[in-house]
Structure 1
Amino acid sequence: MSTVKCSNCGKFTSATDGVKCTKCAGVFDRGCAKLSKGERTPPNWSCLECKGNKTRDSPLSDTIISELQLLRTELANQMGAIREDMACFSTRIDKLFESVHNLGDRLDNVESRISVLENKSELSPSQDCNSNQDLLSSISQLKTELNDRDQELLLTDIEISGIPDNEGENLSHLVSLIASKLSVVVHEDDIVSVQRAKAYSRNRSNGSGPKPSSRSIYVRFTRRSIRDNLLKSARVRRDADTSGLNLPGDPRRFYLNERLTRHNKHLFYKAREEKKRLSWQYLWTKDGNIFARQKSDTKVKRIRTEADLAVVFGGPEN
């Protein structure tokens, strides 16, 4: 009986008991082949080493490794983008905190001033007369300062009146057409916001305020120079009307003015009544401030409060 040497342990075994690897042609005894005595040898049997090489050399394994490497690269890129976004987000949060902090300081200042006023209101009865006068004066001063700040926020705004409402209107385009009629070029991207004034009830008892069919248009521009050019051109072309604007109805005049706060608008209305009553020659606004002059050779006077009306129109001419 012929014998063969085991390729693994080097022991000799009979050829009938040996198992031959179909890959490397090596012969192994059944113990090294992990087969029991009398067990049938599987077809295309491979030794453990050849099986390991097959696993390592498998195309499927290479594909999996390649996919994992690609996934790792994509994850690294995404993590880099996420870090950049987080850094940008952190910067924005810092700016937001700074703005909130500044707002908090302003509120603290207002609260402090209010506390001073409240303390003044709690003085003894013997001090009531003077303290109340001081309190009213302080409140009036505070209101005037707040109104001045609100007016500063409107330095790029204008108010257009006399333009009838039109269903489905494009206000930005309409403003560009009005500017073109005044020989001023205004693109739609020069406009920050544009809107109609709120509608007023038709049955108001005093009959004041614009009718709902012709509400004022409030426009805010990106630059103050655009507003100034429009107001300057409107003063030159005082007879401009709605002809050529594709609006319903007959042509009618429209007017451009500085946009005023509610307080200043009411004050300007009162000043116009006084001007008409006393036949003063000049009354105008500049940067939201109201000015009056009786004649061309008299002193210009500024009106900030209703109390100023009595001082300006009831005071000496010069």
Structure 2
Amino acid sequence: MAKCGGCGQFIAASAGIRCSKCTGCYHRACVGVPAAATPAPGWLCPGCKAKLPKTDNSATPVKSAAADFTETNSPPTDTTASLDLAREIRSFREELSTLRAEIRDMRQETADFRAAIGGCNERMDEVEHRVTNLEQRFEARDPSPYDHLEETIADLKLQLNERDQDLLLNDVIVSGIPESKAENPAHLIKTVSLKLGIALDDRDIVNVERLGMVRRNFVTTASQGDITERPRPRVIAVRLSRRAVREQLIRAARVRRGLTTADLDLPGQPRGVYVNENLTRSNARLFRTTREAAQRQKFKYVWTKEGRIYVRKEDGVSALRVRSEADIRKIFFGDGPV
């Protein structure tokens, strides 16, 4: 198999034409010879024709080709069309292979996505099933164990509160005494006790201090049409060494309810001075709520004794103890038996 002298590709001897001078083999399309045409005897290739002596312009390769064949602009031969078609088919096959690979990847990704969605749906179904079971169990549950637990917690809170209150059985609270930087709380308490008819000495007082932050609360007063603000004095907490002294001081304060700052020779507008039991924060809040409810329901007496809160609607009626807000609802609003 020889190579074409024009394009350099291999060519079968039967598919090409040979030059009668250089015996070179050429594709018919490369030298412009139609496939159906028969070359003249002694056909020369364009290279050999160019080497012939020039006699006139008809010896040039283009002219000789035009002289030998009448078809100057012949259409592409079957071989050229076959080559172009083969190239297009090969390119189409490559593109088709690439497209198939991409489609295969897309199918795999779609399958993975469907599997992930299926797993999510299964988990969601499981969660919904568990939530439904919990709702059914909650709706069908027996409330008695939970109610018993709540009652137990409430009883424990009451016990802790009563224990904290027992620790304050030797304490009293004195309110209404104005504050000053140079004050002596112990001297003020002794003065208050003397005005109440109880003589206290240093051995009777364990500790005296004001409770709360300085200038924490303010009250508004009107003076000659002008509104001014002054700090509400903090209460004084007193711990006594004996409970008997504490009871005497509280009884004396309840007998003499009109004690004011003027009786103590303190400067400023006269204001009431009160001596009460020292209650825990929970009992103090409960006592305030009880007094408000008793005022609305026209109860005549509300008092504390040894940290316990009692109410009585009128004279001749037995006193009732208030231990929690539930007791307030029962006593004042008839919410269940007392």
Q: What is the rounded CA distance, in whole Å, between the counterparts of 1:314 and 1:263 in structure 2?
A: 21
1:278 alignment counterpart: 297
Matched residue, 1:217 = 236
2:282 is paired with a residue of what secondary structure? helix
Counterpart of 2:175 in structure 1: which amino acid? S
- Which of the residues 255, 280, 298 maps onto 2:317? 298
Contact 2:218 2:232 in 1 (8 A): no
Aligned to 2:288: 269
Shift of 1:291: 0.5
Within the candidate set 151, 156, 160, 2:170 is matched to: 156
**Alignment equivalent of 1:192, drawn from 194, 202, 206:** 206
The one-letter code of the counterpart of 1:141 is D
The aligned amino acid for 1:129 is: P
Q: CA deviation at 1:164?
A: 1.0
Question: Could you give the per-residue CA deviations for residues 90-146 of structure 1, whole angstroms, max 9, x where no partner exists?
Answer: xxxxxxxxxxxxxxxxxxxxxxxxxxxxxxxxxx85656322212211110000000
Q: 1:153 to 1:261 in 2, by over 3 A?
A: same
- Runs of 5+ unmatched residues, structure 2: 1-136, 220-229
Q: Secondary structure at the match of 1:253?
A: coil
Identity of aligned residues (%): 40
The corresponding residue for 1:226 is: 245
Residue 182 of structure 1 corresponds to which residue in structure 2?
196
Aligned 8 A contact 2:205 2:239 in 1: yes
* Structure 2 equivalent of residue 308 of structure 1: 327
Structure showing greater radius of gyration is 2
Contact 2:330 2:337 in 1 (8 A): no
| 1:135-159 deviations in Å (ceiling 9; x for gaps) | 2111100000000001111111111
The one-letter amino acid of 2:144's match is N
Distance 1:132 1:317, change over 3 A: closer
> Structure 1 residues 240, 202: closer, same or farther in 2, change over 3 A?
closer
2:275 maps to 256
1:145 aligns with 2:159: yes
How far apart are residue 221 of structure 1 and its match?
Answer: 0.1
Aligned counterpart, 1:83 = none
Bigger drift between 125-134 and 150-159 goes to: 125-134
| Offset at residue 298 of structure 1 (A) | 2.0
> Which residue of the partner structure matches residue 136 of structure 1?
150
Structure 2 SS opposite 1:220: strand
Task: Please provide the CA RMSD for this pair.
Answer: 2.4
Deviations 1:169-210 (A, max 9, x none): 110111001101111000123111111120374479xxxxxx
Q: Deviations over 1:39-75 (max 9, x none)?
A: xxxxxxxxxxxxxxxxxxxxxxxxxxxxxxxxxxxxx
Question: Structure 2 length normalisation: TM-score?
Answer: 0.52
Indicate the structure with greater helix content. Answer: 1
TM-score under structure 1 length normalisation: 0.55
Residue pair 2:218, 2:231 contacting (<8 A) in 1 also: no
In structure 1, the gaps of 5 or more residues are 1-123, 205-210
- Extract structure 1 runs of 4+ deviating beyond 4 A: 124-128
